[in-house]
Amino acid sequence: MPKIKTVRGIENRKVVSQKEWLAARKTLLVKEKKFSKLRDAVNAERRKLPWIKIEKEYVFDGPTGKVTLADLFCGKSQLIIYHFMFGPDWKEGCEHCSFWADHFDSVNLHIGQRDTAFAVVSRAPWKEIEPFKKRMSWKFCWVSSFNTDFNFDFNVSFTPEQRKSGKAIYNYAPLDMDIDEREGVSAFYRDRNGDIYHTYSSYERGIDLMNTTYNFLDLTAKGRDENPDATQDWVRYHDEYKGASKDC
C-alpha cells in the first residue's frame, strides 16, 4: 500500500517510488504541452485582433510636467499601460495593484529590447502619486490622468452616476460597481506616421500573467494557497510584510 503523507494546507498526497512519480509526471507533461500550444494559439489570436485608432489627445501629468500618450512610447512602436487603482483623494495606491507593480521594474529592463515601452497610469493627481512611488522605491514611468477622460474611456474609472445606476462597464460587461477605480492593462501601437492604435485591453484575472509571484507559486505543491473567499487577504505593501523571506 502506498504511504499517505499529510501536509498542512494540502490534501493528502501519496508518497510513491521514483518510477511511479515519473509516470505521473509524464502524464501531466502531456497536458502541460497541450496547454502551452493552446496558449501560443490564443496569443497569436490576440495579435490578430483589429485595432482602434486613438482620435483623442490625452495629456498626462508626470515628474517633468505634461506628457502626451505619444510621449509614453519613448521612441518605441509599442506601449503597455497598467491601469493602477489610485483615485483622487485616496491616501495611497491600491495594495493589490502594488503587489503587481513590485514586478514591473525587473520586466522593464527587457521589454525595451523588443520595441516596447511601459507606463503606469492612475487618476490620482501627480502630487499624490509621487510620494507613494518614492515610498515603494519604484522606478517605472508613472503618470496621472487627472482631469482627462483616459481612465473613463478605458473603463477603469467610474462616475458616481455610473455606480449609482449599476451601469458601469468593466471587463466588457455591466457590473454593479462599489468602487470608483479598477485594475487593468492596455496595449497600444504607434506607426511611422505617429498615429496611435489601441490593440488590446484586459481586466480582472486577465492581468495574472503580469504577476511573476503567482507564476512562481503555481509551480509549488501548495500553489497560491489563498483563501478562496478572499484570495488576496494576505497581500500587504511590501514595506509592511512581517517575517519576509530573506536570501539563504
Read off the amino acid at residue 74: C
Number of domains the chain is built from: 1
CATH of the domain at 185: 3.40.30.10
115 falls within a domain: yes
Q: Which triple of cell numbers denotes residue 242?
A: 512581517
Strands (E), 155-195: 168-170, 173-175, 184-190
Query: Contact, 122 vs 86, CB < 8 A?
Result: yes
Q: Which triple of cell numbers denotes residue 25?
A: 509526471
91 falls within a domain: yes
169 falls within a domain: yes
6 falls within a domain: no
Query: What's residue 178's pLDDT?
Result: 87
pLDDT digits (tens, 9 = 90+) for 111-152: 999 999 999 999 999 999 999 999 999 999 999 999 999 999
10 falls within a domain: no
177 falls within a domain: yes
140: nearest Cα among 116, 124, 158, 164 = 116
Separation between Cα atoms, residue 104 and residue 177, nearest integer Å: 27
The sheet that has 116-122: what strands, in order across it? 52-53, 196-202, 184-190, 78-83, 116-122, 142-144, 59-62, 65-68
Query: Contact, 133 vs 142, CB < 8 A?
Result: yes
247 falls within a domain: no
Give the residue numbers spanning the domain of 184.
73-209
Query: What's residue 248's pLDDT?
Result: 62
26 falls within a domain: no
Question: Residues 17-39, buried b or exposed e (16+ Cβ, 10 A)?
Answer: eeeeeeeeeeeeeeeeeeeeeee
Query: What's residue 243's pLDDT?
Result: 72
Residue written as grid cell 512581517: 242
pTM over 0.85: yes
**pLDDT beneath 50: ranges in the chain:** 1-2, 6, 8-9
Query: What's residue 8's pLDDT?
Result: 47
Q: Which triple of cell numbers denotes residue 4?
A: 499517505
Separation between Cα atoms, residue 216 and residue 76, nearest integer Å: 30
Query: Contact, 203 vs 84, CB < 8 A?
Result: no
